[in-house]
């Protein structure tokens, strides 16, 4: 989401969670056999908040007839699973200040101590973000109290930075798409053993 997000952009994010958008998605997937449905938008979760995201997950599950997950709720569940109390949200530079505030508020309402750091040393264009740059920047800006680091934003190209960041910082490192995959695997009851993408996905059994 570009810097200087407008109320219209927030309205668009909210609209992506409403019934008309879900109906369009259901039409696109009609006739296909699904195991789960995921709503992949961190900023939508921030805008609608925890309670509305829970309702979104319920509506997705009812609409598609399969388990459903959403980005922010997946991260919160992963943090709880690992006993995290203090999390540092690392936001990409294209998140504006309002998203910073909404992100911190979202996780605080879940009971976490949350601080936000904007990765201003990275490119403002998602396509130009390189994993090594993410690793180097985040390593030098990790809060000493943070038990976990969240590379927030489903458009933040940071999955390939997770493993090295965990090695360098000694912290649990979560990334929006990694946490969403973990949640999908969990709700479908599948065991897994995925290497190279951090401690979260190295777990070998489902949490369901």
E strand spans, the chain? 37-39, 68-70, 86-91, 113-118, 148-151, 172-175
Mean pLDDT for 84-112 is 96
Mean pLDDT for 31-43 is 91
Point out the least confidently predicted range of 129-133, 138-142, 177-181, 201-205.
201-205
Report percent pLDDT > 70 for the chain. Answer: 89
Report percent pLDDT > 90 for the chain. Answer: 76
Mean pLDDT for 24-39 is 83
74-178 under CATH 3.40.50.1860, yes or no = yes
Describe the chain by its helix, strand, coil percentages, rounded to 5.
Answer: 50, 10, 35
Q: Alpha-carbon distance 198 to 8, whole Å? A: 36
Residue 15 has pLDDT above 70, yes or no: no
pLDDT-based confidence at residue 172 (cuts at 50, 70, 90)? very high
pLDDT of residue 206: 45
pLDDT digits (tens, 9 = 90+) for 124-166: 999 999 999 999 999 999 999 999 999 999 999 899 999 999 9
Contact 207, 55 (CB under 8 A): no
Mean pLDDT for 57-63 is 92
Average pLDDT of the chain to the nearest whole number: 89
pLDDT-based confidence at residue 28 (cuts at 50, 70, 90)? confident
| Domain residue limits, the chain | 74-178
């Amino acid at each position: 989401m570009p810097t200087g997000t407008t109320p219209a952009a927030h309205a668009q994010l909210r609209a992506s969670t409403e019934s008309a958008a879900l109906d369009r998605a259901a039409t696109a997937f009609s006739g296909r056999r699904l195991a789960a449905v995921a709503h992949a938008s961190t900023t939508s979760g921030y805008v609608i908040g925890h309670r509305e995201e829970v309702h979104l997950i319920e509506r997705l599950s009812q609409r598609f007839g399969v388990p459903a997950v959403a980005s922010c709720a997946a991260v919160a569940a992963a943090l709880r699973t690992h006993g995290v109390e203090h999390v540092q949200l690392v936001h990409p530079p294209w998140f504006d200040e309002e998203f910073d505030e909404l992100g911190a508020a979202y996780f605080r309402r879940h009971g976490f101590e949350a601080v936000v750091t904007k990765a201003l040393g990275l490119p403002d264009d998602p396509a130009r973000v390189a994993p090594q740059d993410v690793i180097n920047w985040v390593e030098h800006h990790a809060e000493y109290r943070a038990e976990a680091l969240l590379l927030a934003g489903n458009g933040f190209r940071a999955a390939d930075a997770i493993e090295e960041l965990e090695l360098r910082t000694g912290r649990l490192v979560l990334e929006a798409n990694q946490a969403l995959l973990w949640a999908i695997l969990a709700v479908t009851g599948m065991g897994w053993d995925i290497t190279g993408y951090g401690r979260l996905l190295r777990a070998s059994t489902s949490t369901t």
